[in-house]
Structure 1
Amino acid sequence: MIKRYRLNEIVLIVAGLSAPNMHYFSNIKRFKYVKVPAKTIILAKNGMSSTEKNIYQCETEVCIKNDIVAIIPDESIILSDYLLYFLKWYQLSNDWQHLYYATVDLPEIEVQTEIVQFLNALQLLMKNKEALITAVEGLPQHFSNISLQVENHTSDLHRGFNQAQNCYNSLLHKVFKGDFFKEIQETHFSIERLCEIK
C-alpha cells in the first residue's frame, strides 16, 4: 500500500551549522549547535541551487550550526537511505523551507528496503567504475597478445556502466515521480521490474 506524506509529517528538519563534536570543546561557550543522530541527512544550505547537490548521510552523531540543514527521518515510516535517494532526485531550491511541504509517496518499509538495496548496488558499481576499467586496461602489460580482447572488454565495460547509470537515473525518476507505484498497486512488487523502461 502506498501512502502520500508531506515531508514535515515524517521527518524532523533542523537548521544549524557544521561544527566539531562539542564534547571535545566543552570549555568554549560561544558555540551554539545542535546534535543530530547517525543516519541524519545533511544539506549544505549554500549548495542547494548548484547542479552538484551537497547532500550527505552522516554515519555517526554530529553537531551542526547555521549553514547546514539536518533532516532526521522517522524510520518507522521512511528509511534514511530512501530519504537520501529522494532528496538526490528532488529539485532543491535555495529556500530549504519548501522541504516542509514537499510530498513523497511511500510504500511499506519492506519495499523501501528492496528499492534501496538495488540503488545501493548500482551506486557501488558506479563508484568502482574507474578502478574496474583501469584494471582491465592494464591487463596487456601482464599478458601478451590480448590487446584486442582488452580493447573489446573495455568498450563493453563502458557500455555496461552507461546502462547502469541510465538504469539508476530512470529508477530514481520512476520511483519518486510515482509511476513505479502505480504499477505495483496493480500487480505484485518485483525487484526485477525496477529498471524496466517503457
Structure 2
Amino acid sequence: MLKRYRLKEIVLIVARLSASNEHYFSSIKRFKSVKVPAKTIIVAKNSKNGTDKMIYQCETEVCIANDVVAIIPNESIVLSDYLLYFLKWYQSTNGCINLNYITVDLPVIEVQTKIVQLLNAIQSLMQNRDSLMTVVEDLPRHFSNISMQVESHTSQLNQGFENVHNCYNSLLHKIFKGNFFHEIHDLDSFMERMCKQ
C-alpha cells in the first residue's frame, strides 16, 4: 500500500537560484528571482531568529530569491498538501530538514486526498479555537444568570481542544511513520467511522 521515495525523486527543488533540473528553469542565471507555481512548498529562514526554518505553501504563483527553497511536488505521485503536512511533521520530530536525505512512504493519491481532507478539517477546527472561545466567554454579557454554565463550558471546550490537538499530533505521527496504514486496512470504512464520531 505504501511506496518509499527519496524526496528528490518526487519533487523539483529550487534553491539559491539554482535547480536540480535546470532545463525547467533555463533563465535562472539571467534573473535574480525565479517564479514558482501555486501550491509550491516554501522553506525559508525564520526572520525572528534566522536559524529556524519556516515551512509554508504559497497559494498563488510567487517569485523566490536567495535564502529560500522552493519544493515543487510531482502531483501525480505526491499531493502538495500531503507533502506540506509531512515536512512540518518531519521538522517537528527531527528538528531540522536536510532535503537531500529525506525519505517518505507514500500511499496512492486517492488515500493521500482523504488523509489531507481529514487533516484539513482538524486544522480548521484548531484554527477557529480562539474565535469560538471568545464567543462562548462573551455569552454572559448577553444573557443573565449563565456565568457558572459558561465557565463550565469554557473549561470543557478548552479540554476538548487540548484532546483534539493531542489526537492530531498522534495521528500525524501514525500517518508518517507508517503505523496508520498497518492499523487501518480499509481506509474508506475508517473515514466513515471518523465522520460519524
TM range (shorter): 0.7 to 0.9
SS in 2 for 1:99: coil
Report matched runs for 1:9-24 at 5 Å.
Answer: 9-16=9-16
Count of aligned pairs: 176
Q: What SS does the aligned partner of 2:100 have? A: helix
Residue 143 (structure 1) aligns with: 143
Aligned-residue offset at 1:177: 1.1
Query: Which residue is equivalent to 1:118?
Result: 118
1:131 aligns with 2:131: yes
TM-score normalized by the length of structure 2: 0.82
Query: What's the % identity of the aligned pairs?
Result: 70
The AA in structure 2 aligned to 1:73 is: P
Task: Judge conservation of contact 1:16–1:70 (CA < 8 Å) in 2.
Answer: no
1:114 aligns to what SS in structure 2?
Answer: helix
Q: Please state how far the C-alpha of 1:100 moved relative to its aligned partner.
A: 2.6
Amino acid at match of 2:186: H
Whether the aligned pair in 2 keeps the contact of 1:15 and 1:66 (CA below 8 Å) is yes
Aligned-residue offset at 1:46: 5.5
Q: Give the drift of 1:182.
A: 2.2
What is the deviation of 1:2? 1.1
SS in 1 for 2:78: coil
> Equivalent residue for 1:188?
186
Asked if structure 2 preserves the Cα contact closer than 8 Å seen for 1:16 and 1:33, the reply is no
Is contact 1:35–1:62 with CA below 8 Å preserved after alignment?
yes
Q: Which residue does the alignment assign to 1:174? A: 174
Equivalent residue, structure 2, for 1:2 = 2
TM-score, normalised via structure 1 length: 0.82
Structure 1 unaligned regions, length at least 5: 18-29
Higher relative contact order (CA 8 A, sep 6+): 1
Would you say the 8 A contact 1:45–1:69 is kept in 2? no
Distance verdict in 2 for CA 1:46–1:161, change over 3 Å: closer
